[in-house]
Structure 1
Amino acid sequence: MKSYEELVAEAEAAPLAKWDFSWLGRRLIESETPWSYPDRADELVTGADGPVLDMSAGGDDPATADATLPFPDDRFAVLLSQHDPYQVEEVRRVLRADGVFLTEQIGGLDGLAINEALEAPLPSGASERALNTARAELEQAGLKITTARTAFPERLFHDIGALVYYLRAVPRQVPDFSAEKYDKELRLLHDQMSAGEPFRDRAVRFMIEAVRQ
């Protein structure tokens, strides 16, 4: 069994990729949502009778949410956004009448067990990123909601390296994270996981499909 120091050092040196945790293998296990965003997105793209825009390329940068899209009004038959910010008025502007907007987002209360275990501050704006808020904003902008679902998949970390890697890959969870700063709390979790008890966390996901009227 690798030591705490070895697991942390490996996690800190490992390459990162956006929302790709394949480096961890089965060390991090997250249950699936009851829906498949990729499958529904494929259905919409295949059935589209006009241009399609996948907005899921802006990264996890909050500034993207305020960006003006470089497209004319009423341009797209389908807009897609997975795990990325969007500006509601821009969605309405570039989506044509009867066009469809599909988004899957991470709820603001995602991963709070991590913050609690580390005694770390909650992510900024956590309470604002929720299904009801997103739904109300889209409806106010003139879109009709056809699907709105929330899920709470379980997330299991089987060693401390997996948790350190995750927090590097998802910096919004604990913005001031470093293994040195949270050494005491991480070592307590390491002892727990080394004894065969994984660290249990909960993801929060919501999906909305809406039509511009």
Structure 2
Amino acid sequence: MTPHFDQLVAEAESVSVDGWEFSWLDGRATEQRPSWGYQRLLGERLAGVQAALDIQTGGGEVLAGAGVLPPLMVATESWPPNVAKATRLLHPKGAVVVADPDEPPLPFGDEAFDLVTSRHPVTVWWAEIARVLRPGGAYFSQQVGPASVFELVEYFLGPQPEEVRRGRHPDDAVAAAAAAGLEVVDLRSERLRTEFHDIGAVIYFLRKVIWMVPGFTVHQYRDRLRELHERIGREGPFVANTARFLIEARKPGR
């Protein structure tokens, strides 16, 4: 028997959204993963450097699972609950977690790191990344691409203008990297299938990924949520397309 709408809503509203792992969605939503395997590639790069910086680390889950960390490993995060979670997870592995507002400047000296990484950054301050990289160092990042999960965004917000749909385009990242003096040495992009199997999964996702539907609350969108709950009951999972791209950019050596 399908759980009642109010039961699903209450459950999804009460669960913690701290950190950056989505295990609560197991069995309730599925997301196709990019073919390149970011965490594996991250581990390979971390193994070859002496000093690395992970920007916007979330709860530290991705970095913690990447394998052996370099002798100097620093992670930054802006949201206090995530700072605390990342500290608990990464300190035993020898990494330092720094609370940082995700605005320039980065709280580090020039040419401090061999490698700068970030998975799904909200913003990318390319000039700052270039500044803290040593000559020959690299920036390695998996990012959200254009119009990602916009089937869900537009269900709540209506059709979005083309300039919004085009935001986060990989071509713009390449241009911004070049403007900061970095050379892009790898760029890959994919569109992937995401399915939401119940309305609780939708609510949890929008509570956690807060920029998808800014200011989202169940109270504000209750009627649309109920309509979507009924639609899922009739037609099956709500399907959206996720956009991801992988970018690696190198700072020229001296």
Return the offset for 1:107.
2.0
Tell me which residue corresponds to 1:203. 242
Q: 1:52 is matched with which residue?
A: 52
| SS of 1:71 mapped into structure 2 | coil
Displacement of 1:180: 2.1
Partner of 2:71: none
Amino acid at match of 2:5: Y
Instruction: Tell me the distance in 1 between the aligned counterparts of 2:101 and 2:131.
Output: 16
Runs of 4+ with deviation above 6 angstroms: none
- 1:186 correspondence with 2:225: yes
Cα distance change of structure 1 residues 156 and 15 upon mapping to structure 2, 3 Å threshold: same
Alignment check: 8 A CA contact 1:146 1:210 kept:
yes
Aligned length: 211
Query: In percent, how many aligned pairs have the same letter?
Result: 33
Q: Which residue of 2 aligns with 1:41?
A: 42
Out of 13-22 and 37-46, give the one that drifted further.
13-22
What secondary structure does 2:216 align onto? coil
Q: Is the 8 A contact 1:29 1:157 kept in 2?
A: yes
Structure 2 unaligned spans of 5+: 58-76, 80-99
Q: TM-score normalised to the size of structure 2?
A: 0.76
CA distance in 1 between counterparts of 2:177 and 2:22 reads 31
Shift of 1:56: 3.0
CA shift digits 1:22-46 (9 cap, x unpaired): 1121101000101111111111110
Could you list the per-position Cα deviations for residues 114-163 of structure 1 after superposition, in whole angstroms to 9, with x for gaps in the alignment? 12222457599653322111111001211111111111111100011110
Structure 1 unaligned segments of length 5 or more: list them: none
Provide the rounded CA distance (Å) in 1 between the counterparts of 2:144 and 2:213: 15
Distance in 1 separating the partners of 2:52 and 2:219? 45
In structure 2, how many angstroms separate the alpha carbons of the residues matched to 1:30 and 1:170? 14
Report which structure shows greater RCO (CA 8 Å, sep ≥6).
1
Cα deviations across residues 11-65 of structure 1 (Å, max 9, x unaligned)? 00111133322112110100010111111111111011x31111133258xx945
Aligned to 1:56, the other structure's residue is in SS state coil
Question: Hey, what's the Cα distance between the residues in 1 that align with 2:143 and 2:120?
Answer: 5
**Residues 72-91 of structure 1: pairs in structure 2 closer than 5 A:** 72-84=109-121, 85-91=123-129
